[in-house]
Structure 1
Amino acid sequence: MISKFCSELQWVFDYLDVNGDGKISPAELQGCVTRVGGGTVSVDEAEETVKSCDLNGDGLLDFEDFQKLMETSGEEEKNDTLKEAFAMYEMEGTGCITPTSLKRMLSRLGDSKSVEDCKAMIQKFDLNGDGVLSFEEFRIMMH
Structure 2
Amino acid sequence: METSRQYERVFDHFDSNGDGKISASELKHCVGAIGGEISEEEAEAVVVLMDSDGDGLLGMEDFKKLVEGAEEEEKVKDLKEAFRMYEMDGKGCITPQSLKNMLRRLGESKSIEDCKLMISQFDIDGDGVLSFDEFRTMMS
For normalisation by structure 2, the TM-score amounts to 0.91
Kindly indicate whether residue 57 of structure 2 is the aligned counterpart of residue 71 of structure 1. no
1:1-143 alignment, distance < 5 Å: 3-34=1-32, 36-37=33-34, 40-143=37-140
Q: CA RMSD in A?
A: 1.5
Equivalent position amino acid for 1:8 in 2 = Q
In structure 2, C-alpha distance between the alignment counterparts of 1:94 and 1:58, rounded to whole Å: 47
Find the residue that maps to 1:130 and give its secondary structure: coil
CA displacement 1:82-116 (0-9 Å, x = unmatched): 00000011122221101011011111111111100
Deviation at 1:40, TM superposition (A): 4.0
Letter in 2 for 1:27: S
State how far apart, in whole Å, the 2-side matches of 1:141 and 1:40 are. Answer: 34
Q: Give, in whole Å, the separation in 2 of the partners of 1:62 and 1:25.
A: 9
User: How many percent identity over aligned positions?
Assistant: 60
- More displaced 10-residue stretch of structure 1: 75-84 or 49-58: 49-58
Q: Extract unaligned runs of 5+ from structure 2.
A: none
How many Å apart are 1:122 and its aligned residue?
0.4
- Mapped to 2, the partners of 1:88 and 1:51 lie a distance apart of 37
SS of 2:72's equivalent in the other structure is helix
Amino acid at match of 1:70: V
Q: 1:38 to 1:122 in 2, by over 3 A?
A: closer
Which secondary structure does the structure 2 equivalent of 1:47 belong to? helix
Tell me the distance in 2 between the aligned counterparts of 1:10 and 1:43: 24
TM-score normalized by the length of structure 1? 0.90
